[in-house]
Amino acid sequence: MLKIVQGGADFNGHQHQIDLATCVNAMGPPISSIDVAQSLEHHRQLLVHPFHATDAFLESYARFLGVEAQSLVAGRGITELIHSVIQVYGRENTGFVTPDYTDFNLLLDKQNIAAICAPERERALNALAKVKQAVILSNPCNPTGVAIEASRLRALCLNNPSTMFVVDESYVEFTAEPAKWSMLGSELHNVIVLRSPTKCFGMGGIRVGAAWTREPATRKTLASHITKWPLSTFDSHYACAALERQQWKSETTQKLLVHAAAMEEVLCQLGFDVISNSPTHFRFVLHPHPAAIFDQLRQHGIFVRTKTAEEGVQGFRVTAPTCLDHLPTLERALQEVFCAG
């Protein structure tokens, strides 16, 4: 039986469904990672504690990102790093603007500031930064796909120098111009960038991530809230093998962007209220009855990710299919859904 989880579904063992609920690069993982995971040498390395796992990952990821390894703090995915940030600044002193990443809703008090388009999000973030020690945001935003240009975020940081801006850039590697949106390498001292290769390399089942900041004291404080041996040998080896396949990542994410644009055109032609022009591989559709949409699409073997008004936006997120041949199936299903009201 297909297990429904967090407004989407767990597709393990269900090969004939079209999973448009995932935010991960479904073209992955690259074969090189699978080969490493199956290697005999790697199996022998599992006998001992992960003494070198974290350093190996940070060195590999630093090369991929074009930063110094010592400027990164490793964590079990971005989720653990978010938890650590909140421990550092305190729940009552940390804010976010809805809609945003699911864990923000679970870990922090809701701010009663809902902002969808980029200018609205900028204004809301600026207002929140006046009263909080730290502000967390995903950019591009999950679930809407809305993105704020790095130059605009830099202005927000300069306008609020005593507030730490923590930017989750999980989806920036899916964009055509990551540098346009990323704060990585910023000269500012009130910026923490959270990054992980798991989504863009299609390996959401492993937990690796890193926090970048220019400020050594901030890195030291953040690292003090990370548990010993944050990364397993398996996760580190798997991630390092994937990170060597940068061309694979670029080619597959470019394909997903093409598919996303074609999918957006279909959605708009059918009359759905799409948050358009997202630089990512997914789109968000505003809709008053997302649960009904989910159920109707499920009848066609298609799954999307739903969001409710309580989460800051009502509708569903739909990710670009890995194959353009899936678009006619999606179009037929959506046509029935739209006609049904």
Would you give per-residue pLDDT tens digits along the chain (341 residues)? 455 554 555 555 455 689 999 999 999 999 878 777 777 566 777 778 899 999 999 999 999 999 999 999 999 999 999 999 999 999 999 999 889 887 787 778 766 577 899 999 999 999 999 999 999 999 999 999 999 999 999 999 999 999 999 999 999 999 999 999 999 999 999 999 999 999 999 999 999 999 999 999 999 999 999 988 999 999 999 999 999 999 999 999 999 999 999 999 999 999 999 999 899 999 999 999 999 999 999 999 999 999 998 888 999 999 999 999 999 999 999 988 777 76
- Computed over its alpha carbons, how large is the radius of gyration of the chain? 20
Q: In angstroms, what CA-CA distances link 117 with 35, 114, 122, 152, 276?
A: 42, 10, 9, 14, 10
Taking a C-beta distance cutoff of 8 angstroms, is the pair 188, 159 a contact?
no
Which pLDDT does position 236 carry in this prediction?
A: 95
| Predicted TM-score (pTM) of this structure | 0.93
Task: Write phi, then psi, for 148 (nearest 5 degrees).
Answer: -105, 130
DSSP string covering 89-123, please? H-GGGEE--BS--HHHHHHS---S-B--SHHHHHH
**H/E/C letters for each residue in 299-331?**
CCCEECEEECHHHCCCEEEEECCCCHHHHHHHH
Cis bond leading into 99, ω under 30°?
yes
Enumerate the β-bridge partners of residue 5.
8
Strands (E), the chain: 3-5, 8-10, 18-19, 72-75, 94-95, 134-138, 164-168, 191-195, 209-212, 273-275, 282-286, 302-303, 305-307, 315-319
Instruction: List the chain domain ranges.
Output: 3-20+247-339, 33-243
Which pLDDT does position 6 carry in this prediction?
A: 46
CATH 3.40.50.1950 for the 3-20+247-339 domain, yes or no: no
Taking a C-beta distance cutoff of 8 angstroms, is the pair 182, 169 a contact?
yes
What CATH number does the domain located at 33-243 have? 3.40.640.10
